[in-house]
Structure 1
Amino acid sequence: MTSTAAESPVDISPVMILLMAVACGVIVANLYYAQTLIDVIGPEIGLSPSVAGLITTLTQLGYGAGLFLIVPLADLFENRRIVLTSIAATMFGCIAIALSNGPTSFLVASVLTGVGATGAQVLVPLASHLAASEKQGRVVGTVMSGLLFGIMLSRPIANFLAGSVGWRATFIVSAVVMAMVGVALLAACPQRKPKGGMRYRDVLASTFDQLVKHRVVRMRAFYQAAMFAAFNLFWTAAPLALIHEFHLGHAGIGAFALAGAGGALVAPIAGWMADRRLTRPASLIGMIGLTAGFLLADWTVAAGSLIGFTIMAVLIDGAVQMSQITGQKLIFSLDPHARGRINAAYVTVMFLVGALGSVIGSVTYEAGGWTASALAGAAIGGVATLAFLLFDRGASIAR
């Protein structure tokens, strides 16, 4: 398929939506494969335990740099080409990781992998461009569910593959799968040529101007930064609780993560609500659901209920998705010609602030166990809810 979508949407097919969702998941999963294998990778490539954390840090820094430097290009160059280039970069990064024999080559390849993974954040606004306005929320919701599935399934998949064929083969398998997805996108994904007319430096300069220009972007970035911080807090502290409170091993933690990924199924529901202009109640449901989920998660762990804890993981993940999809529906409706820059500003703020959640999760669990982490997560959700009730002033009402 070689049709071109300009600024007017085409009738995107369910198969294309599914392909874009799978592509988002496959791309973003590369940010997390190495994180769960640090204890295996570090000794083999000569990284001491005290420095092995750089594997995670540099991959995330590469992703953060890509959010600012690459995602805004969606407003300047043909979108499919950007996505395919990012997939190629991530493939090379994965192959370089698999072939690395020392810490320097491994860490450089990790940065390249992180930068390339930002192609997923070009696919999301592209999906919104290709969708008719009355379907936009559901389309974005479905594509974003693929992204969340990629995040949640990456760790158990990495553990399984590393245990079966070795950690190096894990990255080779990922490169092969991305190549297959890239070929499918090349064959089936419509092109979208933006209006353009700007220089690259002007595009970068105007990216964070979107935060100044649009109050909706500021408010939604704040809400989602809080929600993402709580999400990272949960998935940093919950495995520790599973080990110490429920005495689970890696296989049990992987099964817990697989069950928690069920929260991604909320995304199409959130999109359906957004398409019916129910963005304000959807936002409130997400924030209250997150807060309640943490409070109930504390109770379920204290009661020794693993099933209850798993249900709360699904609730928390679903709440984060509800807020994310609602927010992107709102910001994508602001300016069709600036969706790449708006999404870049929104996701960069969300990512940079949200990354603190992992630190909060570790610190609070060390200080007071799961109860301290759960109360911190509930407090973050409570602050977001309070800000929404006091200061939103119509920013979350669909227009």
Structure 2
Amino acid sequence: MTAMRPHTDGGLSRGLLLLMSAATGLAVAGNYFAQPLLDLIGRELGIGPSRAALLVTAAQAGYALGLILLVPLGDLVERRRLAVSLYAATAVFLLVSATATNGTVLLASTALTALTSVGAQVVVPFAATLAAPAERGRVVGTVMTGLMLGLLLARTASGALSGLGGWRTVYWVGAVLMALMAVLLRTFLPRLGGDGGRRSYLGLLRSTVAMFRYEPLLRWRAGICALSLASFSVLWTALTFLLVRPPYGWSESAIGLFGLVGAVGALTATVAGRLADRGWVQIVTGAGTVLLVASWAEIAAGERSPVWLLVGVIVLDLAHQAVLNSSQNVLYALRPEARNRINSAFMTSLFVGGAVGSALASVVWVHGGWTGVCVLGATLSAGTVVLWVLERITVKRAAPGIVRDLVRIPATTEGE
């Protein structure tokens, strides 16, 4: 059991780090269970395709609200209690989904599951806080690897479990695992934070928004990563359209398995974190943005070549992880007492970028095909290079490998 406890001299034990990584991946996975099952769900519950597709929208909307309304609470209340409460609530809502008798109940439970699944975004800054400064990049990279693996593998697991016992099976399994994770987090996470001061909840939300005004690095990194995730979303949204038509003509199950390729990129997050710990955080970001642009040349060639498509997807995923992890390393070093608010503002920006990328990909595919999609992805990726260069020009201060800005939110805003 001691292997699961934080080190007494600071830093995270390997066991606790792996637990937190698994927790983030499991939490976000529930938001993607329905995507490969929409047809099965629609037939059993007697709802049409358009209404079944609303399950995806409900998950997106619920997660966005959770990022804005719940994640900042980590700077106000005791963080272990917050994380455990959100995981337990997610288990309950997954149980409601597993027993849903109509589309309305499933739609509501899906939105609520997504709302509380932002417990993953409480665990990430929790890990950054527990980590020793010299290993923060590695720790954040490891936790984010778990999160991305949960996101990428959820559809594959959902399809496999539905084949064993119907579409409800994945929700039953997810509910049990989330309940177990809540117990494990309650047992092994230390108490952290919770003094809250005189800050009210509304003051906390205002302070979260104010982060964009008073933290220039947050603005730059939110912009860079929003464009990076938009490019990432363009690929994964349009990829299905490409793979179902000649020369590929793949089945839905084969397309789902292609998502496993993304796991290769996710596994590189720890490498980017280790490089950041060595003081190379800006180099990692810059290299990541350049690789994002370069990946679209291979992806474009992949219209008729599975080899080039495979290479392009791996490079793009690797580059996105490098940009994301290095940016988190920068931001979590800014204000230890405000990590949850910074994370809330940052991740909300990412979510908006991903949603815009998906929407643009669908439109561009209709009018420009795969070539148009690749031009769109490359353009968004080029935007990350531009923003990174502008950040380097405008932000001058640096501290042990991490670019800092010394502007701080006034005490009057903090204490609201």
- TM-score normalised by L of structure 1: 0.95
Counterpart position of 1:143 = 143
1:251 is aligned to 253
Mapping for residues 124-203 of structure 1, pairs under 5 Å: 124-197=124-197, 198-203=199-204
In 1, Cα distance between equivalents of 2:44 and 2:228: 36
State percent identity of aligned pairs.
36
Q: Shift of residue 39 of structure 1?
A: 1.6
**Alpha-carbon shift at residue 64 of structure 1 (Å):** 0.5
CA distance in 2, matches of 1:321, 1:294: 16
Residues 88-103 of structure 1: pairs in structure 2 closer than 5 A: 88-103=88-103
What corresponds to 1:283 in structure 2?
285
Q: How many positions carry a matched residue from both structures?
A: 395
Task: Report the alpha carbon displacement of residue 247 of structure 1 after superposing the two structures with TM.
Answer: 1.2
1:246 to partner: Cα distance? 1.0
Q: Distance in 2 between matches of 1:162 and 1:9?
A: 46
The answer on whether the counterparts of 1:4 and 1:192 sit within 8 Å (CA) in structure 2 is no
* Per-residue Cα deviation, 1:252-278 (whole angstroms, up to 9, x for no partner): 212211122110111011111111221
Question: What is the DSSP-based 3-state SS (H/G/I as helix, E as strand, rest coil) of the residue aligned with 1:208?
Answer: helix
CA RMSD of aligned residues (A): 1.9
Matches of 2:153 and 2:276 in 1, distance apart? Answer: 26
What displacement does 1:391 show? 4.4
CA displacement at 1:308 relative to structure 2 = 2.5
Structure 2: which 5+ residue stretches go unaligned?
404-416
Given candidates 254, 267, 270, the residue that maps to 2:269 is 267
CA contact (8 A) 2:5 2:188 kept: no
> For 2:52, what is the secondary structure of its paired residue?
coil
CA distance in 1 between partners of 2:146 and 2:182 (Å): 16
Structure 1 window deviating more from structure 2 (77-86 vs 219-228): it is: 77-86
Aligned to 1:44, what secondary structure does the other structure show?
Answer: helix
Separation in structure 2 between the aligned mates of residue 134 and residue 181 of structure 1, nearest angstrom = 28
The aligned counterpart of 1:385 is 385
Q: Which residue of 2 aligns with 1:242?
A: 243
- The farther-off stretch of 286-295 and 385-394 is 385-394
- Tell me which residue corresponds to 1:224: 225
Alpha carbons 2:297, 2:312 under 8 Å: kept: no
CA distance in 1, matches of 2:42, 2:13: 44
Q: State the secondary structure of the residue aligned to 1:246.
A: coil
Q: How does 1:36-115 map to 2 (within 5 A)?
A: 36-115=36-115
Letter in 2 for 1:20: M
Amino acid at match of 1:272: R
The alpha carbon displacement at 1:4 in A equals 10
Q: How does 1:238-387 map to 2 (within 5 A)?
A: 238-244=239-245, 245-301=247-303, 304-387=304-387
How far is 1:300 from its partner? 2.5
Alignment partners' CA distance in 2, 1:354 and 1:392: 24
Contact conserved, 2:243 with 2:249, CA < 8 A, in 1? Answer: yes
Describe the SS at the equivalent of 1:53: helix
Q: For residue 204 of structure 1, what is the amino acid of its counterpart? A: L
Q: Is the 8 A contact 2:302 2:310 kept in 1?
A: no
* Cα deviation, residue 175, structure 1: 0.8
In structure 2, give the amino acid aligned to 1:45: L
Q: CA separation in 2, counterparts of 1:280 and 1:211?
A: 21
For residues 235 and 159 of structure 1, do their structure 2 counterparts lie closer, same or farther at Cα, with a shift above 3 Å needed?
same
Q: Secondary structure at the match of 1:52?
A: helix
- In structure 2, relative to structure 1, the CA distance for the partners of 1:43 and 1:9 (3 Å cut) is farther
Residue in 1 that maps onto 2:411: none
Any gaps of 5 or more consecutive residues in structure 1? none
Q: What CA distance in whole angstroms lies between the structure 2 residues aligned with 1:233 and 1:266?
A: 21
Q: Distance in 2 between matches of 1:20 and 1:9?
A: 19
CA spacing shift, 1:350–1:9, aligned 2, 3 Å: farther
Equivalent residues of 2:298, 2:311 under 8 A apart: no
Paired residues of 1:230 and 1:381 also in contact (CA < 8 A): yes
Are 2:211 and 1:210 aligned?
Answer: yes
Alignment partner, residue 410 of structure 2? none
Whether contact under 8 Å (1:24, 1:143) holds in the other structure is yes
Is the contact made by 1:237 and 1:362 (CA closer than 8 Å) also made in structure 2?
yes
In structure 2, C-alpha distance between the alignment counterparts of 1:122 and 1:294, rounded to whole Å: 33
Displacement of 1:395:
4.2
Residues 223, 387 of structure 2: 8 Å contact kept = no
Mapped to 2, the partners of 1:74 and 1:24 lie a distance apart of: 15
Amino acid at match of 2:372: A
Contact 2:5 2:16 in 1 (8 A): no
Q: Alignment partner of 1:196: what SS? A: coil
Q: CA deviation at 1:18?
A: 0.9
- The CA deviation string for residues 293-352 of structure 1, in whole angstroms up to 9 with x for no partner, is 112111132xx3213212221111111111111111111111111111011011111112
CA–CA distance in 2 between the matches of 1:4 and 1:77? Answer: 21
Contact 1:207 1:342 in 2 (8 A): yes
Distance 2:308 2:191 in 1: 46
